[in-house]
Amino acid sequence: MKLPTFSLIDGTQNNSTESSYQELLNKAEEQYGIAEQLYWLFQETLDFDFRDLYILQMARYASQIRRIRQVNSDFIRLKCQEVLVAAETLWAEHTLNWVEKTGTDGSKVLEEQGLTAEVVAMYTLLLDTAQALGWKPPMPKVEHPSAVGDPVMVIAQETARRTNELLAGRGWCLWKCAALDNDLIAVVRDEFVKGVPEGYPVYTEDELKEMFRDGVSATTIKLIHEAKKLTGAIVVDVTELNPLPNENRG
């Protein structure tokens, strides 16, 4: 997604100013191109060095966008809207097409058609771009007034609600979990769910309940996660050799 070359809104600007503005646009386009390459390298390799470099590069891009906004704020506002529309369209195209299928146990389940890991990755990139352009994600609405004012509670409740909806419908969802080094994982209703995007560690609900029960330390959780990523290990019973009930799970 490249920044097109727009003229300054004020037609009285001289050639020198116009040239400087074009330089700002060209620099932003160059920085975004680098960020985009780093993003897809991370998606292909899951090398977190690429992810860290991508985050730094997006910060540089956002800084350049702020310089452009000082000259032409309307252009950045319109560009942000364009990116958000692209993200919404992409998501709608791949999540509104549901089909009913028969599970291995004979039950009827709904599955989304076309929602692949690549689509999710592109959607995430678009939202990152929108934020660099100045978009601020809205706080999710909650039904319980007591949670208002507590961002952690708001996010936790909204995440739980959305997760339950997705697991009840298509049978899986993607999580970005802080306790697992902010990795994206696929959470599934059970091991029989079909259509789960490839490229993510897969956990069943029962596995996560076992991992995050009281008494399991953050160190043990991370060791399990590494085993899951490397070998696809199945979590059956977590035995804490040296329980650290008060350890901070981050």
Reported as a single tens digit per residue, the pLDDT across 149-206 is 455 555 566 667 777 777 887 888 887 777 787 788 888 888 888 888 888 889 988 8
| Domain boundaries of the chain, sorted by first residue | 170-250
Query: Residue 148: its pLDDT value, please?
Result: 47
DSSP E strands in the chain: the ranges are 98-102, 108-112, 172-177, 183-188, 202-204
Beta bridge partners of 239: none
Separation between Cα atoms, residue 150 and residue 109, nearest integer Å = 35
Q: How far apart are CA 78 and CA 86, in angstroms?
A: 12
Query: pLDDT tens for residues 23-39?
Result: 899 999 999 999 999 99
236 neighbors 195 (Cβ within 8 angstroms): no
CA–CA–CA angle 89, 90, 91 (5° rounding): 90
Question: What backbone phi and psi angles, to 5 degrees, belong to 105?
Answer: -90, 5
Element (H, E) at 199: none
Q: How far apart are CA 207 and CA 193, in angstroms?
A: 15
**pTM exceeds 0.85, yes or no:** no
CB neighbours of residue 28 within 10 Å:
24
166 with 173: CB under 8 angstroms?
yes
| Pairing outcome for strands 172-177 and 183-188 | antiparallel
pLDDT at 12 over 70: no
How many angstroms separate the CA atoms of 165 and 112, rounded? 13
Tell me how far apart the alpha carbons of residues 173 and 162 are, in angstroms, rounded to a whole number.
Answer: 9
Q: How far apart are CA 17 and CA 25, in angstroms?
A: 13
- Tracing tokens 């990755």 back to the chain, one arrives at 121
Output 250 or 211, whichever has higher pLDDT.
Answer: 211
pLDDT in tens, 93-118: 776 555 555 656 666 655 555 667 78
pLDDT value, residue 5: 39
